[in-house]
């Protein structure tokens, strides 16, 4: 069993102006939808959506422990057995960070993301251990369109 510390997929936007741009776009779309549709329900839905987007984007990354064992891969307390995992991939990001993506067959959460610095102790052992159980698939990072869209605009 191999345990390694990592960070979750959220970027710290608490002091970044991008979160306010997202909030301004949500407010603009809310006002525009009210003008176009004159519906109270549509306006409430757009206000709620804007608040949810703001809350989601303002979350800070949290530390997580990724454990690879004979049964499967575990993210903190969430165990995914090897028969529910399709494959994994990694993407090198700026700031010497590596993004790991694990694709699963579960409906609840299709992709698991975690980040590690390239110089982290135990990274090579982790890659070798996960490679023993599931295949490396280069096309996995391109499958999650929403994640790639948010990452392109540096919101995740």
The confidence score (pLDDT) of residue 89 equals 96
The confidence score (pLDDT) of residue 126 equals 92
Q: Which residue has the higher pLDDT, 69 or 94?
A: 69
Sign of CA dihedral 51, 56, 60, 62: positive
The confidence score (pLDDT) of residue 102 equals 95
The confidence score (pLDDT) of residue 15 equals 75
Sheet holding 97-104, edge to edge: 78-81, 72-75, 63-68, 2-7, 111-117, 97-104, 85-92
For 97-125, how does the pLDDT look when each residue is reduced to its tens digit (9 = 90+)?
A: 899 999 999 888 899 999 999 888 999 99
Q: Mean pLDDT throughout 143-147?
A: 87
Q: Hey, is 76 helix, strand or coil?
A: coil
Q: Mean pLDDT throughout 81-85?
A: 94
Q: Which residue has the higher pLDDT, 12 or 95?
A: 95
**Res. 25 pLDDT band, cuts 50 70 90:** very high
The confidence score (pLDDT) of residue 10 equals 65
The confidence score (pLDDT) of residue 60 equals 82
For 43-79, how does the pLDDT look when each residue is reduced to its tens digit (9 = 90+)?
A: 899 999 999 988 888 888 889 999 999 999 998 888 9
HEC string of 25-72 equals HHHHHHHHHHHHHCCHHHHHHHHHHHHHHHHHHCCCCCEEEEEECCCE
> Whole-angstrom Cα distance, residue 6 to residue 16?
23
Asked if pLDDT for residue 9 goes beyond 80, the answer is no
């Amino acid at each position: 069993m191999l345990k390694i510390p990592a960070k979750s997929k959220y970027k710290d936007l608490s002091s970044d102006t991008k979160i306010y741009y997202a909030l301004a776009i949500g407010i603009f779309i809310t006002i525009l939808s009210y003008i176009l549709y004159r519906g109270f329900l549509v306006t409430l839905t757009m206000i709620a959506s804007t608040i949810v987007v703001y809350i989601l984007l303002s979350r800070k990354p949290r530390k997580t422990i990724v454990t690879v064992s004979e049964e499967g891969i575990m993210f903190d307390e969430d165990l995914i057995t090897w028969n529910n995992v399709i494959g994994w991939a990694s993407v090198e990001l700026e700031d010497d960070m590596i993004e790991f993506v694990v694709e699963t067959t579960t409906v609840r959460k299709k992709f698991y993301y975690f980040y590690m610095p390239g110089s982290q102790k135990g990274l090579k052992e982790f890659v070798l251990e996960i490679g023993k159980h599931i295949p490396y698939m280069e096309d996995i990072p391109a499958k999650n369109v929403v994640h790639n869209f948010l990452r392109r605009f540096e919101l995740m």
